[in-house]
Amino acid sequence: MSDHSARTGSAGRVFWITGLSGAGKTMLAGHLLIRLAAAGLRPLLLDGDVLREVFGGSAGHGLEERRRLAFNYARLCRELSRQGATVVCATISMFEAVREWNRANIPCYTEIYLRATMAELVAQDDKGLYRRALAGEIRDVVGIDIEAEEPRNADMVFDRAQGLSPDEIALRVIEYVGLQVNS
């Protein structure tokens, strides 16, 4: 527990939602925010697309730039949780080293991995990202020409094939961490 949370009695927590683009991270994060609020918390959402803009909208999409940004996201989550915040971070989080750092440095850390096949992601490609990458129009797309390291130690893994709605997954996450939802 950090000095701040020890003084204030306000230990925060981090829900780290990871998966490839189009896996449903942002959708799940929205439902999880609602469930956390119903449990009496005031959660904060950190979405990878928004964080990229905040931490360096001009940063490229290459491997090292992505690694640097991912560690920035992790350090921000740690700092907010030290101050008692409940943070929901939805990010591709393609590096096992970042997720291991989170486990070692964020006391109340829950990792949720949304797994989907490339066929499922291409079929749901609202941003046109995969279509453009497969056509050779863009490069540095995670899952196409940049490999993502699949989480080895996620606390919870949900496959798209399970057919669970984002709200059903959010409820399972709430139950997993033992929070009570107010009626």
Residues forming the active site: 93
d(CA 149, CA 86): 26
The three-state secondary structure class of 122 is helix
Distances (CA, A) of 47 to 25, 52, 88, 163: 9, 9, 8, 23
Write b or e for each residue in 49-79: b if 16 or more Cβ atoms lie within 10 A of its Cβ, otherwise e: eebbeeeeeeeeeeeeebeebbebbbebbbe
- Determine the distance from the C-alpha atom of residue 146 to the mean position of all C-alpha atoms in its chain, rounded to a whole number: 18
- Residue 126 phi/psi, 5° resolution? -60, -35
**Whether the Cβ atoms of residue 15 and residue 110 lie closer than 8 Å to each other:** yes
